[in-house]
Chains A and B, each alone.
Chain A
Amino acid sequence: MHLLQRTAVSTFCFVSFLCVSLGFSGAAQAVLEIRITQSSDLARPIAIVPFEWQGEQALPTDVSSVVRTDLERSGQFKALAEEDMLAKPSAGSRINWQNWRTLEMPHLLVGKIRSTGEGRYAVDVQLFDVNRGRQLLGYSYPATAKTLRRTAHKVADEVYEEITGVRGAFSTRIAFVSVETRSAKDRTFSLQVADADGHAPRTVVRSSQPILSPTWSPDGMHLAYVSFRNRQAEVFAVNLRTGKEQKLSGFDGINGAPAFSPDGNQLAMALSRSGNPDIYVLDMKTRQLKQITRGYSIETEPSWSSDGDTLYYTSGRTGSPQIYAVSARGGTPKRVSFEGGYNASAAASPDGRNLAMVHSQRGSYRIAVKDLKSDLFRVLTDGPQDESPSFAPNGQMLLYATQKGGKGVLAAVSLDGRVKQELLLTEGDIREPAWSPFNNGQ
C-alpha cells in the first residue's frame, strides 16, 4: 500500500513537470540518446535471450533489450547478437548447454514476462553459469506497465553485481543543466533529471538566469544548485518529489559550489562573503556556518571524501588552480595535485581511493584521475573542453561535460579509460552533470 502511494506521487510529479515543460517551451519532451564511442576489449561475453511474452499487445518496454543496453553501456559486457543464437529458451528447463558452450558464452540470461492481471506483469528471469550448467540467479519481479523499465534496470543491476562483484548503477539517475541560447541576452536554463540511461529527461527548475553546479543529497530526494535568479550566485535546493524550492545560502557575494556531506547533514560551499571565496560548511540542522579555509586567493569546488572526514577543493594560492585536501572540521590544508599547471573541480570516488579532476595541458581541459594511494595519475579523456567529472555511485564510470560540434554534450568514461560514451540531448547545450547516489528517493 505504502509503495503504491509512493508510485502515485512520483507519477504525479512527472506529469506536472511535463506540463511545466510544455507550458514554457511549447515543444515536446527532448530525447536523450546514448552512443557508445569506445568499448572495452576486456568486455565479458554474455547471451541475453529476448524475454518471452505471449500477450497479444506489444509491451510498453522491451525489457530484455533494456537489460542488454544497460550491460553493454557499462563496457563490462558484450552481448551476443540475436541472430547468432542457436535457440531462444525462456526458462532453465529448456536450455541445451552445448549450444551456448559452442558459442563460448560463459553466462546466459533468459526470461519470460507473464500477465498477472489488468496492466500487471511478472518478469521471471534466470541467470546461468553455462560452463557449470548452474543457475546463479532466479527472480520473479512484479511490475506494471509503468514500472517495466525500472524492473529491467533492476535485472541489469542484479546480473552486473552477480558477475562482476560490483553493485550495478543502472537504477540511478543523472542531473544536468541544459541551456537554450536564442541570443546573448535571451537564454533558458533548465535543471533536468533523467534516468541513468538518459531515458525520460524532465525539467525540475527553469530560469532565464544561469543555473549551475547541481549536486545530489545522499538520500536522492533533493538537488542543491546555484541559481542567479536574483542576479547573483545563490544556493538553492529543490525537492524532487514536490518540486518545492528553498534558498540554502544567500550571503553577499558568491554562494557557490554546493556539496552535501555523505550523511547529508552538512553542505560544503564556496562563499565570498568575507572577500575572497573560501570553503565553508553549513550545518543543515542548526544552520550554523563554519569557515574551513582562510585564503587570499580563490578557494572553491569542495568535494567530500566518502567517509566525510576530508574536503578536497580547488585553490589558486600558487597562482594557478590546484587540488588541496583539508579536514572537514578545519585545519591545515595539504596540496594533493602536482601534475601540470592546472587541476580543478575534484570529485572523490565512492571507495575513497581515486580523485577525479579537470586537468589542463597546453589549453586543453581533460578529465584525469589520481590514485590517492599510489599517486598514479591518468588522463582519461581527449579534451579540449572536458569538465565537471562526477562518479557513478559504484565508482565504475565518470560522467562529465564536453563539447561536440560547438554544443555541450555529456559523456562518460570508465575508470580504466577503456569505455567511452556520449549522451546526446536533442535540444540545447547540456552541461554540469551529476550522477545520483544509489538512493533514488522513490
Chain B
Amino acid sequence: MMMKSFKSALLFSVCAIALVACETPGGTQSGGTSSTDEFLPDDQQGLTDEELAAQGPNGGANGQSGTETFALSDCEPECDYPREALDNPDSLLSKRMVFFAFDSDQVKEEFNDVLIAHAKYLASNPDVSVRLEGHTDERGTREYNLALSERRAKAVRQFLMLYGAPAESVNVYGFGEELPLALGSTEEAYAENRRAELVYDGNDLSQ
C-alpha cells in the first residue's frame, strides 16, 4: 500500500515535471519572443514601439508588451515570407486551422487568405515542411471519419499546391474523430472539431 502510494506520488511528480517542461515553449510563443526574432515588414523597420502600437488595431490590444506589437503587413497574404514570419502572432501565418461543413471536404472561401499565406510561406521556404492533420466531428463511424479527415487534409494540400507550395513540403494525415478539440455533443463543438490543422515542426502554436 505504502509502495503503491509512493509510486503514485512519484508518477505524479514525473507528470508534473513533464507538464512544466511542456508549458515553457508554449508560454514563450504566446507571450512573444524578443523583438529581434520577429518578422517586421520593410516599411516598418526603424519605427519606435509607440509608433508601431499606434498603427494597427492589433497594436497593444492583445495585452502584449509594447516591444512585441506592430501592424499587419500590407503584403499579406501574398508575401515573400521570410522564414521567421511563422513566429509573428499578427501574421495570417499564425492562423493554423481551417474548418469544414458537416460531411464535407470542401475548403471554405473564408479560409482562402490564410491558406494562400501558408502556400506562399512554403513556396518562399522550400526547406520547411508542414503536416496537414485532418479531423472530423464525432458523428458517423470512426473508420469512415478517418477517411473523411484525410480527404479534408488532402483538400487543404490541393489548395496549398495550387498557390505554389511544393508538393514535397506538405504531408497529409487523417486523425478521424479521435482527437476532438471541443468536448461535448453540441453543434458548436462539432463545428470546432471539423477541422484541418497546419502543424509546422517545432512551431506548434496549438491555436
Contacts and interface: CB of A to CB of B under 8 A. Distances in A.
Contacts of A210: 175-176, 178-179
A419 interface: no
A276 to B, nearest CB: 8
A270 B147 contact: yes
B105 to A, nearest CB: 10
A19 to B, nearest CB: 11
Nearest to B174: A254
Nearest to A342: B140
Contact of B144 (A23, A24, A316, A403): A316
Contact of B141 (A181, A276, A345, A363): A345
A344 B144 contact: yes
Q: Which 7 A-B pairs have the closest CB atoms?
A: A210-B178, A26-B8, A298-B147, A345-B141, A257-B143, A277-B147, A344-B141
Given A22-B7, A23-B7, A185-B206, A233 B146 contact: yes
B184 to A, nearest CB: 7
Interface residues of B, number: 33
Nearest to A253: B150
B148 interface: yes
Contacts of B183: 181, 184
Interface string A15-27: 0000000111011
Given A26-B8, A210-B175, A253-B150, A385 B185 contact: yes
A184 B180 contact: yes
B185 A254 contact: no
Contacts of B175: 210, 228, 233
Contacts of A321: 140-141, 144
Interface string A383-397: 001011000000000
A301 B151 CA distance: 16
A266 interface: no
A178 interface: no
B83 interface: no
23 contacts: A26-B4, A184-B183, A187-B179, A212-B142, A212-B178, A233-B174, A233-B175, A253-B174, A256-B146, A277-B150, A298-B148, A298-B151, A300-B143, A300-B144, A301-B141, A316-B144, A321-B140, A321-B144, A385-B138, A385-B185, A387-B142, A388-B141, A406-B184
A256 B175 CA distance: 11
A363 B137 CA distance: 13
B141 A254 contact: no
| Residue among A26, A270, A344 with most chain B CB within 10 A | A26
Given A26-B8, A345-B144, A363 B139 contact: yes
Given A342-B140, A344-B140, A387-B142, 7 more contacts: A184-B180, A184-B183, A187-B179, A233-B174, A233-B176, A298-B144, A385-B138
B185 A403 contact: yes
A337 interface: no
A254 B143 CA distance: 10
Interface of A: 22-24, 26-27, 181, 184-185, 187, 210, 212-213, 226, 228, 231-233, 253-254, 256-257, 270, 272, 276-277, 298, 300-301, 314, 316, 320-321, 342, 344-345, 358, 360, 363, 365, 385, 387-388, 403, 406, 431-432
Contacts of B173: 231-233
Interface of B: 4, 7-8, 11-12, 103, 131, 138-144, 146-148, 150-151, 172-176, 178-185, 206
Contacts of A270: 143, 147
Query: Of A27, A226, A232, A406, which is in contact with the most chain B CB atoms at under 10 Å from its CB?
Result: A232
A272 B153 CA distance: 13
Contact of B150 (A181, A254, A358): A254
A185 B183 CA distance: 12
Contacts of B148: 298
Contacts of A314: 141, 143-144
A403 B147 CA distance: 23
B6 to A, nearest CB: 10
Most chain A CB neighbours (cut-off 10 Å) among B131, B141, B146: B141
Interface centre among A254, A276, A388 (most CB of B within 10 A): A254
A403 B139 CA distance: 12
A86 to B, nearest CB: 47
B176 A26 contact: no
Contacts of B4: 22, 26
A184 B179 contact: yes
A419 B76 CA distance: 62
Contacts of B150: 253-254, 272, 277
Given A210-B176, A232-B173, A277-B147, A432 B8 contact: no
Contacts of A365: 139-140
Contact of A300 (B131, B138, B147): B147
Given A210-B176, A254-B147, A298-B148, A26 B142 contact: no
Nearest to A358: B141
Contacts of B138: 385
A316 B143 CA distance: 12
